[in-house]
Structure formats: structure tokens, C-alpha cells
Structure 1
């Protein structure tokens, strides 16, 4: 049997252009993923997946503090 990550987890991976812009600004300001999650009213897992996607697309850079930020 094969295991499928994120299967049957209630997550929303749709983001508006405005949400992407706000996320990138907060990411570049070193705000922690937890605080970004609270400000955007999104699950941390949704934003963690967004981090992976934006990093792969070269839209954001790695931070010294990683996901934790400041």
C-alpha cells in the first residue's frame, strides 16, 4: 500500500495575488511562519507548502532563521 502525504487533510492551497504579495512582504521582513499564519488567518501547513512553492519558483529566498523568522 502506498502512503499519500496530505491525503484527507483539510487544507486550502489557493492564494490570491494579494495574499501572495502580503506573504512575500512578511517573509522578507523575517516574520515567523506562526505570526504570518495568524495575520493571514491561514493554517501553518498551507503557508509551509506555499514557502516550498515560492522557493522552487525563485520568488523568495532562504532566511537565516528559516520558517521561524523573528
Structure 2
């Protein structure tokens, strides 16, 4: 497992966990922006693998500087 992490970090520049967090965040962000089906933030959070909507909100603020209502 450690060897995979080293190779991933060497070739991609980030750890597998950081990569999966980026992919999860991008998926959640696209769902929030779509909002065609008017899902709640809690539903989107669970669907994208977050523990709760607060975890998703914190990730949004950290990565975009905006609250979900401002997107």
C-alpha cells in the first residue's frame, strides 16, 4: 500500500487520498450547480460520500471561498 502511495505521489504529485477528495469535491460541486432536481445539501453530501452537510460546507468554503448558497 505504501509503495502505491509513493508511486502515485511521484507520478501525479498528490496522494491517492488527496486525489479522491478532489474528485469527490468536484462531483458534489457539479451536483450543487446543477440543482435541476433540487436535492437538499444533505442528500448531495451523502450521495458524494461526505459524513454530513457541514463536512461538505466546510469543504466548499475551503476550496472555493464561498458558502453553498453563494454558488
**Could you state the TM-score of these two structures normalised by the residue count of structure 1?**
0.49
Greater share of residues in helix: 2
Structure with the larger RCO, 1 or 2 (CA within 8 Å, 6+ apart): 1
> Which has the higher Rg, Structure 1 or Structure 2?
2
**Could you state the TM-score of these two structures normalised by the residue count of structure 2?**
0.49
